[in-house]
Amino acid sequence: MSDGYTPSAGQRSNDDLPAEAVRMLDFARRWAPFGGADAEDIFMGFGISSRRFFLRIQRLITQHPAAVPNPAVRDELAAVCADRLDHPDPTGRPAPQAFVT
């Protein structure tokens, strides 16, 4: 399925990203409407803290905008990342010590 977007020189599509980066972006897109996944789901899915996860997503959408070609979705992901980096867990639960980096 194509959305008519063609990456310009220097931009990368999902085909150029490592599988783990694509998996992280897909996960982040699914959870974005809910403010992002909680720390436990992120740790269970990727073995990293939620802070590290949102920093990676932020970097991916900044350095590889073609990986999320829809600007509205990219903006939503950027907003979720910014919010979650300022407010780590929307459930209000403290992250278990193993999740903190």
Residue-wise pLDDT for 66-94, tens only, equals 999 999 999 999 999 999 999 866 555 55
Q: What is the mean pLDDT of the chain?
A: 82
CA distance 77 to 72: 9
Residues 43-61, mean pLDDT to the nearest whole number: 96
Burial 92-101 (b: 16+ CB within 10 A, else e): eeebeeebee
Residue 6 has pLDDT above 80, yes or no: no
Question: CA-based angle 68:32:51, to the nearest 5?
Answer: 95
Which of 40, 62, 9, 1 is closest to 25 using CA atoms? 62
Look at residues 5, 24, 1 and name the one whose alpha carbon lies nearest to residue 70. 5
Going by pLDDT thresholds of 50, 70 and 90, the confidence category of residue 97 is: low
The alpha helices in the chain, defined as continuous H runs, are 19-31, 39-46, 50-63, 71-86
pLDDT at 2 over 60: no
- For the record, the structure tokens of 5 come out as 């977007």
C-alpha span between 9 and 2 (Å, rounded)? 18
Taking only the tens place, the pLDDT of each residue in 36-49 is 999 999 999 999 99
